[in-house]
Amino acid sequence: MENAIFEATLDQLTSGGYARLTMEGVAGAARTGKAALYRRWASKDELVIDALDATLPRPYDTPDLGSARKELLLLIEVFAGAMNSPAGAAIQALMGEIEHERAEVFKDFIVQRVIEPTTETILDILRRGAARGDVRADAASQLVADVVPAMLLYQVKVCGRRNLGPDFAGRLVDEVLDPLIRA
């Protein structure tokens, strides 16, 4: 039932936007009662955050593949795919629609749930690469780790690209990251 609720929440966000999302609408689409939603979530903000949290990929699931390039490609492909998913479309709808004061709760969620874990995973990848010798030791820095989430947000938020394309990860690694980190 929870999956149906989350799916209905993301669908309502992407089709009608945050302002039109209602607990009643989500309950109807998920074929449950509005009271059932309010027993679990006190507000639509809480429901939206839980729906996003449940459906976004976890960056720290990136395995050691023996090469920083392969690991970065995998991580970026997962997140580029997420930006093209219902959860990614919902995040884009949220950030494009809600006013600044209201956006803080969602911005905090994105920073804590997506950006910070992603940069930590990238730092781990860069440190492993430095230990293997395929990454310069000084490249394992916060600024270099910030490049991936910054580029993803730039492409989607500033450039308005809804679909990053199948070659995005390879281009980002080969044209931007590799020259920054190469040993």
Q: What is the CATH number of the domain that holds 15?
A: 1.10.10.60
Question: From CA 176, how far away is CA 43, in angstroms rounded?
Answer: 41
**14 within 8 A of 86, measured Cβ to Cβ:** yes
Same domain? 98 vs 176: yes
Domain that holds residue 160: 59-181
The confidence band for 91, taking pLDDT boundaries of 50, 70 and 90, is confident
Q: Reduced to 3 states, what is the DSSP secondary structure of residue 52?
A: helix
The confidence band for 88, taking pLDDT boundaries of 50, 70 and 90, is confident
Domain closes at, from 34, 51, 68: 51
Mean predicted confidence (pLDDT) in 19-29: 95
The single-letter code of the amino acid at 49 is I
- Tell me the C-alpha to C-alpha distance, in Å, between residue 43 and each of 23, 46, 137: 8, 5, 46
Same domain? 27 vs 73: no
Secondary structure letter of residue 19 according to DSSP: T
Query: Tens of pLDDT along 130-169?
Result: 999 999 999 999 999 999 999 988 888 788 777 788 899 9
Domain count, the chain: 2
The confidence band for 42, taking pLDDT boundaries of 50, 70 and 90, is very high
The confidence band for 83, taking pLDDT boundaries of 50, 70 and 90, is confident
Q: Name which of 10, 11, 14 is nearest 162 in CA terms.
A: 14
Residue 106 pLDDT greater than 90, yes or no = no
Residue 71 pLDDT greater than 80, yes or no = yes
Which DSSP string do the residues of 141-172 spell out, in sequence order?
A: SHHHHTHHHHHHHIIIIIS--S---TTHHHHI
pLDDT number for residue 131: 96
Same domain? 40 vs 112: no
Burial class for 47, CB neighbours closer than 10 Å (0-12, 13-18, 19+): buried
Mean predicted confidence (pLDDT) in 6-30: 94
Same domain? 44 vs 66: no
**71 within 8 A of 128, measured Cβ to Cβ:** yes
Same domain? 39 vs 121: no
